[in-house]
Amino acid sequence: MTLTRRAFLKRGGLALVSVGTMPFWGPSFLQQLVFAANPTQTGGKKILICIFQRGAVDGLSMVVPYGDPYYYQARSEIAIPQPTQKTGAEGVLDLNGLFGFHPNMAALMPIYKSGHLALIQACGSPSSNRSHFDAQDFMECGVADDKSIRTGWLNRALLDCPEDRAKLSPFRAVSMTSILPRTLQGDQEALAIPDLKSFGVGVAGFAPSSTTASAASGFEGMYDSAVGDLLHGNGKDAFDAIGMLKAADPTKYSPRNGAVYPNGAFGRSLMQIAQMIKANIGVEVAFSEIGGWDTHVNQGGAQGQLANRFTEFSGGLAALYQDLGDRMNDVVILTMSEFGRTVRQNGNRGTDHGHATCFMVLGGPIRGGKVYGKWPGLAHEQLFEGRDLMLTTDYRDVFAELSQKHLGARDVSKIFPNHNLNARNYPGLLAV
């Protein structure tokens, strides 16, 4: 049987331990990591957190083009009112005279004002495919309408980043989902963990019993001793990961800086991402997702169905940003959605599947406080196929800039094949 590259690297790491040139793996290393003298000090390792808004978010309600006269024409019943000075009234929160946040996105306003949040309006995939299923798949693969690429762009991005010690961490790429999303599928190993609290032998799911602790140590012993077997490395990874988490103790975590995460799976997943980052267990890429954006019927305006989603979404992002505090100097959070929604409201006071939408990028290294992307306008002749927001920023230029300038990928053309990449097309989100 051929040795996988991963298994090889793993053994390389172990060899280093045995000759003592670099204290690398094993419990003592973990202790050093987890109880690092100054946990807020940045290790210099860049981290990217990706959040997928599944179901196609209405970018025109999230970051409202209230200054475009056609906006109110197209959406007589679901438009968000103009900004207002009156307290208590619910209007758009002005950003730059043309755009404004949905009032329920208020939690992000301080981050925008501090210059750490960039909004990219009219962004997305040039594909005109309007199937959630296909469009999500394309976006996660980093392609437009190309079904021959089957691995995820995030996975390829990590493979293209310089190898270093962090590569050997089982937590290098982690998704807070039960099934590994397409974007993390590929040759780089990645973990899918729906909930840190249930990551362990006999800790959740099936009722734990008195034998579980004992059984866990038995399993660990067996896989530890199975040297030479392909399963040995992975078993060891698994128990290393469990050990790392145990040391970080997910049950005793309290967010810092007054951060309050929204209730529910989304807020919890973000809190656990923060927790892993602070535990210094080698996270480079983290993934989470939030659904409920497919608002075909009665999506609401300043209040209602979609407004409620924005509260949870923006509240989660703001809490994560606050909680990570100084660590945000090395962290970028990227939000995406498979496509946008029709400019005109439909017959059910909702919106149907559209084209471009709004992406958000936040973090210490981001040149924020600005709405990126050329505004294509909402007049009938300015619309894509006569119905949808025209695309002016190819999402791959955003992903490519972050891969290259933030994560340090060497050759972005490998990550986004068949896309005409040119650094001049990058939005310019990062100063470097």
Partner 1 sequence: MIIHVLNRLGYGPRPGDVERVEKMGLTAYMRQQLHPETIDDSALQAELAKFDILAMGETELFQDFRDEQQANKQRQIDRANAEKMSATTASTNSATAQNERPAPAKRPGGEPPRRSYLAVAELQDAKIISAVDSPRQLYEVLVDFWSNHFNIDVRKGPCRVLKVVDERDVIRPHVLGKFRDLLGASAKSPAMLHYLDNFQNSAPREISPNEQRRRQQYAQQIPGAPAQTVDNKPRPVGGLNENYAREIMELHTLGVDGGYTQKDVQEVARCFTGWGIDQRTGEFAFTPRRHDNGSKTVLGHEIPPNGGIQDGETVLDILASHPSTAKFICTELCRRLVADDPPPALVERAAAVFRTTDGDLRQVVQTIIYSPEFFSPQAYRAKIKSPFEFAVSAVRATGRTIVPDDILPMNKRLAMEAGATFDRNMDRIANARRKSLDIAVIEMGEPLFAYQAPTGYTEDSRKWVNAGALIARMNFALALAEHKVVDVSASPVDLIRGVDSDKPELVLDQLNQALLHGEMAVATRATLEKQISRKDPDQASTVNVPELTALVLGSPEFQRH
Of residues 202-231, those binding partner 1 (CB under 8 A): 202, 204-207, 209, 211-212, 214-219, 221-227, 229-231
**Of the two residues 232 and 405, which places its CB atom closer to partner 1 in the complex?**
232
Contact flags string 362-401 toward partner 1, x per CB under 8 A: ----------------------------------------
**Of the two residues 42 and 234, which places its CB atom closer to partner 1 in the complex?**
234
Which part of the chain contacts partner 1 (CB under 8 A), choosing from 23-31, 58-66, 173-181, 400-408? 173-181
- Residue 168's Cβ-side half-sphere holds a number of Cα atoms within 13 Å equal to 19
Given 242, 247, 260, 390, the residue binding partner 1 (CB under 8 A): 242
**Of the two residues 224 and 326, which places its CB atom closer to partner 1 in the complex?**
224
In the complex, minimum distance from the CB of residue 111 to partner 1, in angstroms, rounded to a whole number:
21
In the complex, minimum distance from the CB of residue 427 to partner 1, in angstroms, rounded to a whole number:
29
In the complex, minimum distance from the CB of residue 222 to partner 1, in angstroms, rounded to a whole number:
5
In the complex, minimum distance from the CB of residue 321 to partner 1, in angstroms, rounded to a whole number:
21
100: left (phi over 0), alpha (psi -120 to 50) or beta: beta
In the complex, minimum distance from the CB of residue 104 to partner 1, in angstroms, rounded to a whole number:
8
**H-run or E-run covering 232:** helix 230-248
In the complex, minimum distance from the CB of residue 228 to partner 1, in angstroms, rounded to a whole number:
9
Contact flags string 312-331 toward partner 1, x per CB under 8 A: x-------------------
**Of the two residues 128 and 329, which places its CB atom closer to partner 1 in the complex?**
128
**Of the two residues 32 and 217, which places its CB atom closer to partner 1 in the complex?**
217
Would you tell me how many other CB atoms lie within 10 Å of the CB of residue 115?
Answer: 13
Mode of pairing for the β-strands spanning 357-363 and 117-124: antiparallel
3-class SS of residue 240: helix
In Å, what is the CA distance from 205 to each residue of 36, 197, 208, 289?
A: 32, 10, 8, 22
Tokens representing residue 37 in the block: 């003298």
Per CB under 8 A, which of residues 37..76 are in contact with partner 1? Answer: none
Burial (Cβ within 10 Å: 0-12, 13-18, ≥19) of residue 146:
middle
Contacts with partner 1: how many residues (CB under 8 A)? Answer: 72
DSSP calls for 25-85? SSHHHHHHHHT-S-TTS--S--EEEEEEETT---HHHHEE-TTSHHHHHHTTTTPPPPP-S
Given 28, 76, 303, 413, the residue binding partner 1 (CB under 8 A): 303
With contact defined as beta carbons under 8 Å apart, do 149 and 142 qualify?
A: yes
Query: Tokens 């394309």 identify what position?
Result: 138
3-class SS of residue 300: coil
Contact flags string 126-145 toward partner 1, x per CB under 8 A: -------x---x--------
**Of the two residues 76 and 348, which places its CB atom closer to partner 1 in the complex?**
348
Contact flags string 260-279 toward partner 1, x per CB under 8 A: --xxxx--------------
What single letter denotes the amino acid at residue 195? Answer: D
DSSP calls for 376-398? ---SGGGSBTTTBPPP-EEHHHH
Cβ contacts of 368 within 8 Å, gap of 6 or more? 111, 112, 114, 115, 116, 117, 118, 361, 362
Given 234, 329, 418, 425, the residue binding partner 1 (CB under 8 A): 234
Per CB under 8 A, which of residues 177..206 are in contact with partner 1? Answer: 177-180, 182, 189, 191-195, 198-202, 204-206
With contact defined as beta carbons under 8 Å apart, do 260 and 306 qualify?
A: no
**Of the two residues 32 and 348, which places its CB atom closer to partner 1 in the complex?**
348
With contact defined as beta carbons under 8 Å apart, do 271 and 261 qualify?
A: yes
